[in-house]
Amino acid sequence: MMNATAVCKRLLSLSLEQSRSGTVHSVFDRAVNLEVGGGAGFIGLIAQQGALTPYAVSVRTEHPFPEAGVRAGMAAAILGGKILIPQAELEIDLTNAEPVDLRVDSIELRYGGEAERALMERIVSALGGADAEASLAALVIGGTGNAYTKFLAPRLEQLYAAVSVGAREAAALAAARTAGCGMGLTPSSDDLLTGYFTTLHLLFRAEGREHLRGILPTMARAAAEKTNRISGTFLLHGGEGLANAAMCDLYRSTFQFMDTAAAKRAAERVLAIGSTSGADMLTGAALALLHHGGTSTMEGTNKW
Amino acid sequence: MVKLEIKKNAYYDSVTLMLISKELKKLDGVNEALVGMGTDLNKEIAHNIGVATPELDAEVSANDFFVAVKCGDAAVFDAVLKKTEELLNKKTESKAAAYMPPTLEGALKIDPALNMAVISVPGKHAADVAQSCLDHGINVMLFSDNVTIEEEKALKTYAYEHELLVMGPDCGTAIVNHVPLAFANVVRSGDIGIVAASGTGTQEVSSIIDQLGGGVSQVIGTGGRDLKKDIGGLMMKLGLDALENDPNTKVITLISKPPAKEIATEMLSLAAKAGKPVVVCFIGGDRREIESFGLVAAVSLEDAAHKAVALSKGEPVADYTGFAMGEGKAEAMAKEIAGKMAKGQRYVRGFYTGGTLCDEAMKLMIGTLGHIYSNIPLNAEDALEDPKGGKSREHTFLDFGDDAFTVGRPHPMIDPSLRAERVVTDGKDPSCAVIMADCVIGYGSHPDPAEDLAAAIQTAKAEAERAGRHLCCVCAVCGTEGDPQSLSRTQQKLADAGAVVLPSNAQATRFVSRVLANLRQEG
């Protein structure tokens, strides 16, 4: 039995609502995706050291998941607050884990423009340590970039323009034309869009532009159709305003607490996600701040 | 030919995909490779870079993994497939070993016990990265420059309180537990420990120690500002303390430009209590003050190495101010060279890639030359206007590693071409008698720094000959036989170009002084 340490509140609720059966979709050393239906996309098992993602549970495990006997195609079920994979003799009790609210909306907005500036500074500082050759960080911190940044730059311009005026269809089209670009399992541009969506949820709420938030799920759906299912699931979560725990901590440390040290730690945790996924999420967040942030944020951009 | 491998509904983690992409591009015969999930945009990029096939468009979906390669022939593609499978099937342990984590957190996941980080990121980010390392109990070598003195003070104060090293900022060399870091030479292990606030100065001393048959226990860099009042020598103190307590260190050597008076007194006082012999080379500093603390003062970097090795071997300690070739031969050679020169040739031009070596040469010569114009002048009034674009003036020494020369280009130890151009330019100056140059080899340096310099020397000497002048070029190579470039091969290449090659910067400087003295005598 693996011990659950933290669980996304959405998953906990889902697991207590009704039983669902499904299969193991994919298995990695530090993550497993379960396909159970019910509108959540994939449900994730994440090794404890990884950042908790929406509809996922963090588990304490000494071995990579394949070594624990989990294989794609195995039957899986959610039942009474537990995740079961019988063939791997795996039973995870979600009710013992700490429930974590991964909704960006759960973050209290005590600071405004000041927080936007602090967040931007933290992100830019963290991106200084990113793999500039492989990630999309050059879109924010400059430099020569790579084939993907050059390819994406003009498409992103269309995205910013459409989002700025709240043009739903144009924004969805632009998101679709941006998704699925890059070499990772979650292509870099998908990670960028995920960071962009969740940050926009925060920004639009902070600045009273609630009406613009409505276009984000539409954009996410359009983008998800252009990529693989795993990456698409993260895009859909982002569109709904669900972020991974490290991103939530980063947002909370700035907008709710204005705690520079905590923001720094959170940004480092985001950066450590995947090969370049974290850097690309931060890049998306920075682009959201740069192109859609308030006046005070934009005034500060000349220093980057 | 363009070939495609498809794995339907296959998912691999991003780290694995990144590794495959990087490794495939290294294979012989692979001209271009694209690895990823078969999304529309990735297919479009495949078309853009010429690795698309009809199957890619027809058969690959966003949930499929593909490898598209432009390669020489089918055999190369077989090698691509083999490599791909090998990497996909690798066990977790081996993936971790090959994985270069993009973040500190990632690195700590792979090896929680790591305790030394070399940081080379843009200066504005460097302090943050360094502090993160310190927060995790990791010692730091901060190769980055453009870190403010306030940031340096904060980092070092924290590090000192936690007994952690911050070597730098702008720390170019260190050898920790026999592992060379950044610009460093292949120096044999031994019982001489070095703490130094000077990059190429440290390389010169450690290399000569090796040449003399000695070896080093640890070489700890502090960064050039450590002994300024603002910093208070925190890392020099910590380094000194570390070597005092290191059972493998028998002799300690301290290297720096002359520190602020009160800092010097504090350092010398601490060194005097080390319980081990300490050689102090405050380049151009007051030897009487050093000796008043019962310490061994060095008159040059080379002298510091000689004295440290003598102490290590239990031999008598004496100033080394001579020539390996012998006094008589050196004087005869200097006289012969001066005798070949045309009327009007009277000045030396020193063109250095190592800042400390340039500084040392000027300090050893300033007493007889009076004024030496430079971008790192010993006296403010001798600052050279526009050192990069302008002309040399009388006796001129240039540090090509100074900011004036490195904006937008690599350090001259990596790219010495600008210095080579200057050798040719100044060789045309009828008043130029001698051109001096260092040649620093070792890890991090240009794979063959003598190549450009030798070509420039040959050109400059030939042009001077055609103009009826004899141009003397004097070089010293800083490095060891074990360095990738090889000390002897580098020396030979410069000698073959017509340079007089001396075993150390100090000997090269003394030799040039003799040539100039002979010129003055000949009037």
Could you give the CA distance from residue B304 to residue B360 in angstroms, rounded to a whole number?
13
Q: What is the pLDDT of residues B131-163, one digit of tens each?
A: 999 999 999 999 988 899 999 999 999 999 999
Ranges B89-98, B117-126, B311-320, B491-500: which has the least confidence? B89-98
**Residues of chain B with a CB closer than 8 angstroms to some CB in chain A:** 11-15, 17-18, 21, 34-37, 39-42, 44-45, 48-49, 62-63, 92, 95, 101-106, 109, 121-122, 124-125, 128-129, 132
Q: What is the pLDDT of residues A76-86, one digit of tens each?
A: 999 899 999 98
Q: Is A264 on the interface with B (CB under 8 A)?
A: yes
Could you give the CA distance from residue B205 to residue B211 in angstroms, rounded to a whole number?
10
In this structure, are A166 and A262 located in the same domain? Answer: yes
pLDDT at B405 (0 to 100): 86
Domain count of the fold of chain A:
2
B375 secondary structure, DSSP code: S
What number is the average pLDDT over the span A16-42? Answer: 86
Q: What is the pLDDT of residues B41-88, one digit of tens each?
A: 999 989 988 999 999 999 999 989 999 999 988 899 999 999 888 888
Of the residues A39, A69, A100, the one at which a domain ends: A100
DSSP characters over A79-104: ETTEEEEGGGTEEEEGGGSEEE--BG
Q: What angle do CA B126, B139, B183 make, to 5 degrees?
A: 70
In this structure, are A216 and A262 located in the same domain? Answer: yes
Q: What residues of chain B lie within 8 A of the CB of A131, using their CB?
A: 102
By Cβ distance, the residue of A128, A186, A226 closest to B122 is A128
Q: Is A205 on the interface with B (CB under 8 A)?
A: no
Q: Distance from CA of residue B487 to its chain's centroid?
A: 15
- Asked if B11's CB is within 8 angstroms of A275's CB, the reply is no
Residues contacting B123, CB < 8 A, separation 6+: B144, B145, B146, B147, B169
Is residue A298 over pLDDT 80?
no
CA atoms within 13 Å, Cβ hemisphere of B145: 12
Of the residues A83, A100, A117, the one at which a domain ends: A100
Contact at 8 Å (CB) between B482 and B304?
no
Q: What residues of chain B lie within 8 A of the CB of A182, using their CB?
A: 36, 42
- Picking from B356, B354, B507, the residue whose alpha carbon sits closest to that of residue B439 is B354
Angle, helices B123-135/A260-271, rounded to nearest 10 degrees: 90
Could you give the CA distance from residue B433 to residue B410 in angstroms, rounded to a whole number?
29
Q: What residues of chain B lie within 8 A of the CB of A186, using their CB?
A: 14
Mean pLDDT, chain A, rounded, equals 90
Residues 268-287 of A with CB under 8 A from B: 268-269, 271-272, 274-279
- Picking from A124, A122, A126, the residue whose alpha carbon sits closest to that of residue A259 is A122
- Asked if A187's CB is within 8 angstroms of B41's CB, the reply is yes
Confidence label for A65 from pLDDT (cuts 50, 70 and 90): confident
pLDDT at B98 (0 to 100): 40
- Asked if B125's CB is within 8 angstroms of A147's CB, the reply is no
By Cβ distance, the residue of A185, A189, A271 closest to B103 is A271
In this structure, are A91 and A131 located in the same domain? Answer: no
pLDDT at A43 (0 to 100): 93
In this structure, are A21 and A113 located in the same domain? Answer: no
Contact at 8 Å (CB) between A146 and A301?
no
By Cβ distance, the residue of B14, B129, B132 closest to A275 is B14
- Asked if B12's CB is within 8 angstroms of A128's CB, the reply is no
Mean pLDDT, chain B, rounded, equals 92
Contact at 8 Å (CB) between B197 and B171?
no
By Cβ distance, the residue of A177, A187, A269 closest to B42 is A187
In this structure, are A94 and A134 located in the same domain? Answer: no
Q: Is A65 on the interface with B (CB under 8 A)?
A: no
Burial of B19 by CB count in 10 Å (0-12 exposed, 13-18 middle, 19+ buried)? buried
pLDDT at B478 (0 to 100): 98
Position with higher pLDDT, B260 vs B312: B312
- Domain span holding position A116: 104-303
In this structure, are A128 and A163 located in the same domain? Answer: yes
In this structure, are A189 and A217 located in the same domain? Answer: yes
Could you give the CA distance from residue B24 to residue B201 in angstroms, rounded to a whole number?
41
Residue B496 Cα distances to B334, B410, B415, B490, B492, angstroms: 18, 27, 22, 10, 6
By Cβ distance, the residue of A31, A125, A181 closest to B41 is A181
pLDDT at B13 (0 to 100): 79
Contact at 8 Å (CB) between B341 and B433?
yes
In this structure, are A117 and A239 located in the same domain? Answer: yes
Chain A nearest-CA distance from B400, in A, is 25
- Asked if B14's CB is within 8 angstroms of A129's CB, the reply is no
pLDDT at B390 (0 to 100): 83
Q: Say which residue the tokens 């959610």 belong to.
A: A78
By Cβ distance, the residue of B41, B103, B124 closest to A180 is B41
In this structure, are A239 and A169 located in the same domain? Answer: yes
- Asked if A226's CB is within 8 angstroms of B125's CB, the reply is no
Q: Which domains does chain B possess?
A: 2-98 (3.30.70), 104-313 (3.40.50.261), 327-522 (3.40.50.261)
pTM confidence score: 0.58
- Asked if B109's CB is within 8 angstroms of A276's CB, the reply is no
pLDDT at A40 (0 to 100): 61
Q: Is A135 on the interface with B (CB under 8 A)?
A: yes
Q: What is the pLDDT of residues B273-304, one digit of tens each?
A: 999 999 999 998 899 999 999 999 999 999 99
- Picking from B499, B412, B378, the residue whose alpha carbon sits closest to that of residue B199 is B412
Q: What are phi and psi of A78, to 5 degrees?
A: -115, 125
pLDDT at A38 (0 to 100): 64
CA atoms within 13 Å, Cβ hemisphere of A10: 23
Angle, helices A147-164/A277-292, rounded to nearest 10 degrees: 40
Of all residues in chain A, the one with the smallest CA distance to B91 is A29
Residues in chain B: 523
- Picking from B161, B170, B159, B157, the residue whose alpha carbon sits closest to that of residue B116 is B159
Q: Is A233 on the interface with B (CB under 8 A)?
A: no
DSSP-derived 3-state class of residue B29 = coil
Q: What residues of chain A lie within 8 A of the CB of B63, using their CB?
A: 228-229
Q: What residues of chain A lie within 8 A of the CB of B124, using their CB?
A: 128
Of the residues A100, A132, A163, the one at which a domain ends: A100
Q: Is A148 on the interface with B (CB under 8 A)?
A: yes
In this structure, are A157 and A266 located in the same domain? Answer: yes
Predicted-complex ipTM score: 0.85
- Picking from B305, B248, B245, the residue whose alpha carbon sits closest to that of residue B274 is B245
Q: What is the pLDDT of residues A124-181, one digit of tens each?
A: 999 988 888 889 999 999 888 888 998 999 999 999 999 999 999 999 999 999 999 9
Single-letter code of the amino acid located at B29: G
pLDDT at A297 (0 to 100): 41
Q: What is the pLDDT of residues B477-504, one digit of tens each?
A: 999 999 999 999 999 999 999 999 999 9
Q: Is A227 on the interface with B (CB under 8 A)?
A: yes
Of all residues in chain B, the one with the smallest CA distance to A180 is B39
In this structure, are A167 and A18 located in the same domain? Answer: no
Residues 94-133 of A with CB under 8 A from B: 125, 128-131
- Asked if A128's CB is within 8 angstroms of B128's CB, the reply is yes
In this structure, are A40 and A148 located in the same domain? Answer: no
Q: Distance from CA of residue B193 to its chain's centroid?
A: 19
Alpha carbon distance, N-terminus to C-terminus of chain B: 73
Chain A nearest-CA distance from B10, in A, is 9
B352 has which bridge partners?
B399
pLDDT at B408 (0 to 100): 66
pLDDT at B163 (0 to 100): 95
